Structure 1
Amino acid sequence: MRNHLLTYKGVKPTLAIVISITIVEAIAIILQAKWLAEWLFRLFNGELFQQTWKLGVFFLIAFVTRYLMGTLKKKITFQFAEKTRVEKRKQLLAKLFALGPSYTNKHGTAKLVNLAMEGANQQRTYLELIIPKMIAACIIPPVVLIYVFFQDKLSSIILLLTVPIIIAFMILLGLAANKKMERQWHSYHLLSNHFIDSLRGLETLKFLGKSKSHGDTIEKVSDEYRKSTISTLRIAFLSSFALDFFTMLSVASVAVGLGLRLIEGNLLLDIALVVLILAPEFFLPIKEVGADYHATLNGQEAAKAIDRILAEPVPENHSVITNSIAWTENSTLKLSSVSHSHDDNGLQALSNISMQVNGYEKIGIVGASGAGKSTLIDILGGFLTPDQGSFRVNQQILNSLNTEAWQRQITYIPQRPYIFSQSVADNIRFYEPNASDEDVWQAAKNAELDKLIHTFPNGIEQEIGTGARAISGGQEQRVALARAFLGNRPILLLDEPTAHLDIETEYELKQTMTTLFKDKLVFFATHRLHWMEQMDKIIVLKDGIIVEAGTPHELLLRRGEYYDLVLSQLEGVQ
């Protein structure tokens, strides 16, 4: 049994109970065989049914006991497996929240959602099958073998010699199946991620006339998954055939030996019957382990994947006094030599970032694609923990901004804000779930969302999002702005909030957004440089390094990197 099973909560009492039940079940199997053989032997010798019916009753008692023990084992292991599934899913979701959006983006939303939903169910199936079957395989065959040894030593030797052959074959097939299963698991997650990405980009693909050509890619990914599944099933069928073949061959060897010695008069019929009845029982638990091994492979892979995520180091959540980093107009934030790399190859997304911001400054962050703008926003939001460097918020020194006291002061507006499948009002309440209806409506008006709401049949209670009423990208941003107005937090992080909008929609939003900037520390990462007119200071990033910093006017006079960015945009307009 896998070592990681022993780390699961409540597994040791469950194992103790299942072992006890299995011992009772093994005794019931032997008594069942003994009483059935004796009953048949006495009937064969001419005794009347009335003289032997008690043996029949004893046999039925042993049979029912065995059935009840098996049912009880299934119930106990199912309860443990279900409890573990719920607990692991909670732990997984909590860990994913702790690891933050950068981890989700790196590994794929579809893969992680799949793991939390189907993976947890597959892990339950794995636990439900593997625990009783493995324990039965460890207890029942030895008990049966010992009993058979005292009845007929030759038959016990035949049984003992055939077991290693079956086990060796199972190991070989298991290793082959494991490799196939890993490939299938990888293909499965690739297909899941591809499916989610395709759904998200379906509108864009159709608009660009690429939907049909994209179908070829979908077919290729699906075909790869089909091939890996068929390959795994081929191994599973071969394994089942081999198990049945070797088991029947072993039982047949025992039966032939018993038959020959009965003919020669070297063995009594009652002993031969007991051994013959117990021979299939000896191999049955081993056979069931082999048969269920393939059914639990998905669960094994899911359990490994979940445990790997749970073992991921979480960025240290610093415990600080809330008031010490509360942001006001007199506050300061200083970054000292902050560096971060996304991969283990040492390629840095940010390198030696040092800067200081004060009070309610408006900070623009610009640079070419891949310069490190989003990474800097993620670090400022506490979503990423830098590899090195430190932060000073007022007088508090921190290694990371991943602290609740800091994050509760932040409003984050990404390029595509997430819209929940709930009412407009509930979506606006994202930061303030207990806000009153009046406050929610005022926030909607501040974000100029009221005109849209008046067009809805159910007003502010209209369901929007996936599966409900669709809204445009600009309207989604107005929902995000309404959230910000309602929360009214002192720090505002904007990561390319208008990158996917047309220029007309962007200019419509601009006046509303600049109103939101009042009395807030603003970090605005964007490619569109017309926003820099509203910024007090601009930070220019190139290859993860700050190459320029200053006011818009100062940077234009320097004719450096920022000046070149402005010129390139003006040329694009012309």
Structure 2
Amino acid sequence: MIDKKLLQLPGIKKVLMLLAGSAVLQAIFIIGQAYGLSMTITHLWNGEGLNKQLTWLLLFFVSFALRHLMTYLREHALEEYAYQQAKDLRSQLLRKIFHLGPQVVQKQGTGSVVTTALDGINQVEEYLHLILPKMLNMMIIPWILLVAIFFMDWESGVVLLIVFPLIIIFMIILGYAAQSKADKQYKVFQVLSNHFIDSLRGIDTLKFFGISKQYSKSIFTTSERFRKATMSTLKVAILSTFALDFFTTLSVAVVAVLLGLRLINEAILLFPALTVLILAPEYFLPIRDFSSDYHATLDGKNAMDEVNQILELPESQDATIGLPTWSEDSQLDVNMRFNYEEKLGAEVDFIVQGYKKIGIIGMSGSGKSTLINLLSGFLRPDESQLRFNEHELPAFDQPQWQEQLVYIPQNPYIFQRSVRENIAFYHPQASDEEILKAIEVTGLTDLLNELPEGLDTNLGEGARTLSGGQAQRIALARAFLDQERKILLFDEPTAHLDIETEVELKERMLPLMENHLVFFATHRLHWLAEMDYLLVMDHGKLVEQGTLAELQQKNGAFTKLSQALRGEKA
């Protein structure tokens, strides 16, 4: 039930010692309560006055107050610890995701990663808050109380000792059933998260093709699966809670009946009988508390497993190599191969020198985006011979390479921040004058004039939304603002724009490419005349390379691709 990863958390030993000490003190205070209350009732039964019971009443109330004070202090300390660990875990998770790049999101699914980073971490926090004290209480308190019960009445102690393991075995059996149901529920929840996010992101396309209602039915079907999985899990959880409550209540009733019969037969005195009767429900209370939150701890354990699965994904173990800034005299030799599980991702061999515009052209699925992801360091090649000037590189995930990159994808991400913060993404120290210059160069002046708060206007979801062309201009403004980054990676930046917007953006983009090394993936033919060198991709392989004139003269793969893109017959 306890995830072994919990024992590796920083400061966990100190917390466990604190909880163990708290459990011991709570057990002592419970015994003090029972002792004081039993003494008071016994003396009153014997005809003594209430004023003579002040000492025992004081023992009861002091023990009661100290017990709940200990609970409060324990909960406060544990809440702080769980919050801090959840905060650190979320930071580790986000750093890991940012370091691994887009492939981890593609593999796990956007909805799943977002759910894990938000709700999942909250469930882990609740898991820490619930599982640690309940497990320690269940391991310590019943046995200290059992010693006290044996001291008062060994026969009742034997009954309770026999019943407790039976309840534990029953709880384990139900626990396995609940674990299986909870695992299934969590997997269905991940599917629902991914499905919903994907459908939401593609809602415009779905409506354009008139199939949005069809996808709404699909989301409804998936949500119904999640509802049924949740209800099935809750049934097992409620059944286990009911069963444990029933058996523990029955056990206390058995002890009470046996004590009553022995009192009638004068086989036991009133004081030990009362003390045992008061301690018996407390003996079972830790296991009942654990059972009541069992389902919540299962959710937290599943979430923690998911977080650890991402945190344990392998990263580059290569030593950091000091690389120079790309310049007119720089040279890059690239020979690498990357394979997906079922097909070739990209296999290329080319050399680049100085500031050039390198066009990467091919049909959809030809490996253009894979090559861009390899060049950005988001993917690591399976085989490679890479050289930057005199430096040998195993892959492009070197920090001093990535610090020189500006990456502009098909759909640039607009943060829920101001215009100023969005444009200054790569260059946070930029002045307003520099930002306004970038806005002017990229044609965003009209948009800025329309915004009520100018550069302070918030963008993104829940605020001012942007069209595809405006989002691309924001991305271009980011690139223009940071002139120190000399390598530009464009992954079909105009693929989703209409031709008028694309032509207008093209006029803004070409000046930004001057004095830069540019890798520009596209399947739009009108860009090719602007490129200094072309790489032709087909089914993951680099099948041709050269200038536009050279490729046209060869009448090979490039010519066939051009005809296919124009819709002409070969």
- Find the aligned partners of 1:454 and 1:416 in 2 and give their Cα distance: 24
- Find the aligned partners of 1:370 and 1:492 in 2 and give their Cα distance: 22
Q: Which residue of 1 aligns with 2:337?
A: 339
- Find the aligned partners of 2:450 and 2:142 in 1 and give their Cα distance: 73
Q: Which residue of 1 aligns with 2:412?
A: 417
- Find the aligned partners of 1:482 and 1:26 in 2 and give their Cα distance: 66
Q: Deviations over 1:89-138 (max 9, x none)?
A: 11111111111122123222222222122111111111111111111111
Q: Which residue of 2 aligns with 1:386?
A: 381
Q: Which residue of 2 aligns with 1:427?
A: 422
Once superposed, what is the RMSD of the aligned Cα atoms?
1.8
- Find the aligned partners of 1:285 and 1:42 in 2 and give their Cα distance: 30
- SS of residue paired to 1:411: strand
- Find the aligned partners of 1:464 and 1:573 in 2 and give their Cα distance: 46
2:64 is equivalent to residue 63 of structure 1: yes
Q: Which residue of 2 aligns with 1:540?
A: 536
Q: Which residue of 2 aligns with 1:251?
A: 252
- Find the aligned partners of 1:335 and 1:540 in 2 and give their Cα distance: 15
2:507 is equivalent to residue 511 of structure 1: yes
The alpha-carbon distance between structure 1 residues 73 and 458, as it changes in their structure 2 partners (threshold 3 A), is closer
The answer on whether the counterparts of 2:443 and 2:508 sit within 8 Å (CA) in structure 1 is yes
TM-score by length of 1: 0.95
Q: Deviations over 1:509-553 (max 9, x none)?
A: 222222222111111111112211112221112222211112222
The answer on whether the counterparts of 1:318 and 1:398 sit within 8 Å (CA) in structure 2 is no
Q: Which residue of 2 aligns with 1:297?
A: 298
The alpha-carbon distance between structure 1 residues 38 and 452, as it changes in their structure 2 partners (threshold 3 A), is closer
Q: Which residue of 2 aligns with 1:78?
A: 79
Unaligned runs of 5+ in 2: none
The equivalences for 1:227-306 within 5 A come to: 227-306=228-307
Q: Which residue of 1 aligns with 2:194?
A: 193
Q: Which residue of 1 aligns with 2:183?
A: 182
The alpha-carbon distance between structure 1 residues 459 and 82, as it changes in their structure 2 partners (threshold 3 A), is closer
- Find the aligned partners of 2:473 and 2:50 in 1 and give their Cα distance: 87
- Find the aligned partners of 1:422 and 1:292 in 2 and give their Cα distance: 39
- SS of residue paired to 1:548: strand
Q: Which residue of 2 aligns with 1:500?
A: 496
TM-score by length of 2: 0.96
Q: Which residue of 2 aligns with 1:442?
A: 437
Q: Which residue of 1 aligns with 2:143?
A: 142
Q: Which residue of 1 aligns with 2:446?
A: 451
- Find the aligned partners of 1:542 and 1:571 in 2 and give their Cα distance: 17
Q: Which amino acid aligns with 1:535?
A: M
2:552 is equivalent to residue 556 of structure 1: yes
- SS of residue paired to 2:350: strand
Give how far 1:202 is off. 2.2
Q: Which amino acid aligns with 1:339?
A: R
The answer on whether the counterparts of 1:99 and 1:315 sit within 8 Å (CA) in structure 2 is no
The answer on whether the counterparts of 2:415 and 2:422 sit within 8 Å (CA) in structure 1 is yes
Q: Which residue of 2 aligns with 1:354?
A: 349
- SS of residue paired to 1:540: strand
- Find the aligned partners of 2:261 and 2:80 in 1 and give their Cα distance: 49
Q: Deviations over 1:379-405 (max 9, x none)?
A: 111111222213211111111111221
Q: Which segment drifts farther, 107-116 or 227-236?
A: 107-116
- SS of residue paired to 2:429: coil
The alpha-carbon distance between structure 1 residues 423 and 74, as it changes in their structure 2 partners (threshold 3 A), is closer
- SS of residue paired to 1:412: strand
- SS of residue paired to 2:378: coil
Q: Deviations over 1:430-489 (max 9, x none)?
A: 111111222112222221222333343444444332222222211221221121111122
- SS of residue paired to 2:567: helix
Q: Which residue of 2 aligns with 1:163?
A: 164
2:364 is equivalent to residue 369 of structure 1: yes
The alpha-carbon distance between structure 1 residues 358 and 295, as it changes in their structure 2 partners (threshold 3 A), is same
The alpha-carbon distance between structure 1 residues 59 and 546, as it changes in their structure 2 partners (threshold 3 A), is same
